[in-house]
Chains A and B, each alone.
Chain A
């Protein structure tokens, strides 16, 4: 069981918007930065969002991140079939002194 909780799957139509939630605790999300990763089938995870809401160079502004209290959210607008992937949230857990990830959310663009 993961320290961070994500929905197992979400779906939306091409062009639409989707949000993926990530719930933690005061020792994880509540007091640390959150990152989001995209893992396309058969590939390594790639950083999408860091420090809660910042995008690395090259990541389109269709991807956004936010954090409130002990939860974080990834938003994706203008969905494309190429966005079909597993998405993971991650943060540091100050009580466990380890990096922790959510269980992952599979996005289907129908």
Chain B
């Protein structure tokens, strides 16, 4: 059974750095795309980007490129998204997702990680 288990909720101050993790199991981590979707409070879903751990190929949404870094450690089947300097506007729920192909959309979702950025 496919599982995507995300790290816990975070409360940060503007300017701080952050890394979220997504522990995966139940599928071959190096044969699928894993990525992140943002949902701001009361809003819809935004596709941030995906990584193919098999060769570290990454596809970013231009709206998020330069704002976040997506990475993966294939030795432990964990994907990450990180920020070097958070803004209040980064406050949102972030979902880890799996995709069966690069030009597809998610099939499995993690439980979500709530990030709150406030001074």
Chain A residues with Cβ below 8 Å from B17 are none
Chain A residues touching B, range: 20 to 34
Residues of A within 8 A of B46 (CB): 101
The interface stretch among B8-16, B70-78, B109-117 is B109-117
Chain A's interface: helix, strand, loop or mixed, by majority? strand
Q: How many residue pairs at the A-B interface have CB separations less than 8 Å? A: 59
Asked whether any CB of chain A lies closer than 8 Å to the CB of B66, the reply is no
Docked CA distance A10–B109 (Å) = 25
> Interface residue tally of chain B, by bracket?
20 to 34
A residues whose Cβ falls under 8 Å from a Cβ of B: 2, 32-33, 35, 37, 44-47, 50, 56, 88, 90-92, 94, 96-104
Contact across chains for B44 and A47 when beta carbons are under 8 A apart: no
Residues in A whose Cβ lies below 8 Å from that of B108: 47
